[in-house]
Structure 1
């Protein structure tokens, strides 16, 4: 286990208090990051049905997984063995039979079939088929959206979580330095990413890395005007910029970082735009203090963009922590105008400034922790345009 039983108990209590506030008696959490947060469960089993079940009065959650994955639950979670529930292989890819048929039976057997049940309706791993099975199999329950209840419980980190994120940040820096070193004229993008991934997995002698929730993103040339492009076998060419967005990962905790590299002669327009981008990013960082809101940070950021006449319509940050594919964001606070979430000590977020102008773009980002008096950056790495 990465954390003490006391920390897991505190997390459970926080979630149960939120359940009471929302009138939820039983919570079905199918978000893999939430499952990890509540129990410690960690395996690449999220491609099929699994969940953590929380009764509002229970001393422990229940971890419900496929029989083939039950060994992972016994090894990885802090739960008593009787609180690990398994379903048989007969439910795997045998439609219309489905694992949620088994979950429905469990709920009936435990006399929970008249409760108000919270579902993570917008989780990546909760499908329309799962919902239909619950709705048809439990006609007397009240089904409602949990409104990311567990995700919101995760927003304020413990000091133990912060330490894991600091380790991830060191790995991020190693990965980014490798990226800057290996992105050269004539090198294939895929070869560069191979070296970056090697660095991210090797980590440090003290702590090795893990797979990231998002692939290393590497838009280059015209691709820098788009978001979330991955490497191809094309070679880097002179005069083109490349954006690198990656994250080191330690014990499933992420600290993302983005930087921009330019190959060839200095391009004053790109240099100036990068400087303006970083000025806006720094203004947001300076506004990130306990008691301020996400909106306050966003307003400070956009004030600089407005000064330079730069238009940006997408959000410029989001909460981070535990991550599983396909996303390292927590799906809670956004650094955007109108988000009135109050920043508290140990709130952590990725503030990402990407500027796109049709045929080109630049980007920089920082993983940030709110402290008692202000904020601190997880990484210490120049945001300037890297010219080679």
Structure 2
């Protein structure tokens, strides 16, 4: 029984779009190692990316070839639409062996399939494409020119299909349940890790209709003085009274993410902090007002900056980033960013996490919104109110 989240036709359209991108870069072959890109093009899904695995796309062949560890080839048969002949596993002798490397096997597969290939694209900055991987490929194919095709597939993924957006909506539903569980569990005296446990339970349980998966990272939770940090991890310390907590999480539905951050104040926040929350919320509203097809990423950030500058507040880091499929270590797609200078044009189907987080010298606040661009504007992927949560 195949476990495909999309139709075979949708996968083939994606492969065709990638081949068009390869043609623009004059690539004969593309070696894909980023797990999200492999999943996007064929459906392969396993926690196996700690060893060499690749999806190899050939300009002269209709279907790509999956290459991975022998023990994981069963998963390739179960989770991809590829026929048996296009699933080529390597034996365990290539696993963590100083004398052999699986990239040598990958090279042999390429040379067997396309011996006249002249230019091969690789994802040079992918998290799971190592310096050793590249060195072994280059050594094994001395007559081939290697080109950096980093983000080629990521940009093909940038515009989501209706089916993808539907999964992101479901991820957003899970995110809402996770945040609701966090707010209910968090109170002075409760350990940070116990709040995380409540989040994890909601994340995996999902709804009665669909369940969840682990997201790309643990919950980012900054309690007390650690609210100044952008990506802190929870501890086993109890929550202090009259303190603040920033919580950034994401539900995950079939590897699709819809992140959200909220700030909880335990006690009665001072007027300065309430004002800061109001500035952030107004800035989010101003940003979303300009989201529509034809606007640019920069337009969204400029609207945010204008709103905050009226209150003397400035955010140095980017306002947001594109989202969709993701594997460890990040749920960002690594394509467009909502920031000054990024003139990427928005179109229906592109999705972002508008990360309106402020990390100041003495505190921080994070109230954010994931959204997808529609024909006329945007659709919020989560419906949790954008507000400072106060537990007095």
The interval holding the TM-score normalised by the smaller chain is over 0.9
Tell me which of 166, 169, 175 is aligned to 2:169: 166
Alignment of 1:303-314 (within 5 A): 303-314=306-317
Structure 1 contact 114–142 (Cα < 8 Å) conserved? no
**What is residue 275 of structure 1 aligned with on the other side?**
278
**What is residue 204 of structure 1 aligned with on the other side?**
207
Can you list the C-alpha shifts for 1:74-103, whole angstroms capped at 9, x where unaligned? 000011111111011001111141110111
Deviation of 1:316 (Å): 1.1
Alignment of 1:251-262 (within 5 A): 251-262=254-265
Deviation of 1:113 (Å): 5.7
Tell me which of 15, 18, 37 is aligned to 2:18: 15
**What is residue 268 of structure 2 aligned with on the other side?**
265
Q: Distance in 1 between matches of 2:114 and 2:204?
A: 46
Moved over 6 A (4+): none
Give yes or no for the alignment of 1:233 onto 2:236.
yes
Q: Distance in 2 between matches of 1:385 and 1:25?
A: 53
**What is residue 154 of structure 1 aligned with on the other side?**
157
Tell me which of 292, 296, 300 is aligned to 2:299: 296
Deviation of 1:59 (Å): 1.3
Alignment root-mean-square deviation, CA: 1.0
Does the residue aligned with 1:387 lie in a helix, a strand or coil?
strand
Can you list the C-alpha shifts for 1:94-115, whole angstroms capped at 9, x where unaligned? 1141110111111222243642
**What is residue 90 of structure 1 aligned with on the other side?**
93
Does the residue aligned with 1:219 lie in a helix, a strand or coil?
strand
Structure 2 contact 66–88 (Cα < 8 Å) conserved? yes
Q: Distance in 2 between matches of 1:327 and 1:136?
A: 31
Can you list the C-alpha shifts for 1:193-245, whole angstroms capped at 9, x where unaligned? 00110011110010001010121111111111111111100010111110111
Structure 1 contact 114–140 (Cα < 8 Å) conserved? no
Q: Distance in 1 between matches of 2:206 and 2:376?
A: 31
Give yes or no for the alignment of 1:249 onto 2:252.
yes
Q: Work out the number of aligned pairs and report it.
A: 388
Structure 1 contact 289–371 (Cα < 8 Å) conserved? yes
Q: Distance in 2 between matches of 1:148 and 1:269?
A: 42
- Judged with a 3 Å threshold, the aligned counterparts in structure 2 of structure 1 residues 258 and 290 are, in CA distance, closer, same or farther, namely same
Deviation of 1:383 (Å): 1.6
Can you list the C-alpha shifts for 1:24-67, whole angstroms capped at 9, x where unaligned? 11000100000000000000001111011001232111111100
Q: Distance in 1 between matches of 2:12 and 2:110?
A: 23
**What is residue 66 of structure 2 aligned with on the other side?**
63
Question: Can you give the 5+ residue segments of structure 1 that lack an aligned partner in the other structure?
Answer: none
Tell me which of 361, 364, 374 is aligned to 2:364: 361
Deviation of 1:71 (Å): 0.5
**What is residue 76 of structure 1 aligned with on the other side?**
79
Q: Distance in 2 between matches of 1:162 and 1:112?
A: 40
Question: Can you give the 5+ residue segments of structure 2 that lack an aligned partner in the other structure?
Answer: none
Q: Distance in 1 between matches of 2:313 and 2:143?
A: 54
Deviation of 1:147 (Å): 3.0
Does the residue aligned with 2:49 lie in a helix, a strand or coil?
coil
Normalised by the size of structure 1, how large is the TM-score? Answer: 0.98
**What is residue 345 of structure 1 aligned with on the other side?**
348
